[in-house]
Amino acid sequence: MKKLSRTPAALEEGLGKISRHIQMGNQYVALVGDTVVGTMRVSLHGQVGVIARVAVRQKYRGRRIGTMLVDYAENLLSHMNAKRIEIEVYGAVEDQISFYERAGYIEIKRIERLGEEIVVMQKELTEELLEDEEE
């Protein structure tokens, strides 16, 4: 494999954004050894938690890494007193929509942003989950 002498500009910009979000405390990564295999952003807006930019490297898909990331985010947001969580699926990708439906999310609307269809999905945090977090 040939090693690039320098990082391509687009990748450099992407890594810079991820680095800034890590410093702000809302970017999370999944590691296998020293390799970043998944990433997501988590934020809270009032009582609405937002999970964004969930991604798992292609060769690591099917290993429940995405599920672990989303579970972690839900747990974190419940500790932050979120009452519900929203996720946006860019490009209305059916595999991603199905993934979130299996995790208990429902589609609440479809919007268009910058010419791209986005499916907004939501999950109410159950009283049982919120009570478990208080113990």
Domain ranges of the chain: 9-134
Q: Supply the pLDDT for residue 91.
A: 87
Residue 85: partners with Cβ closer than 8 Å, 6 or more residues away: 48, 49, 50, 51, 73, 74, 77, 105, 122, 123, 125
> Parallel, antiparallel, or unpaired for β 106-113 and 84-90?
unpaired
The CA distance from 83 to 94, in Å, is 26
The CA distance from 99 to 38, in Å, is 15
Q: Supply the pLDDT for residue 76.
A: 93
CATH superfamily of 9-134: Gcn5-related N-acetyltransferase (GNAT) (3.40.630.30)
Stretches where the chain sits below pLDDT 50 are 1-11
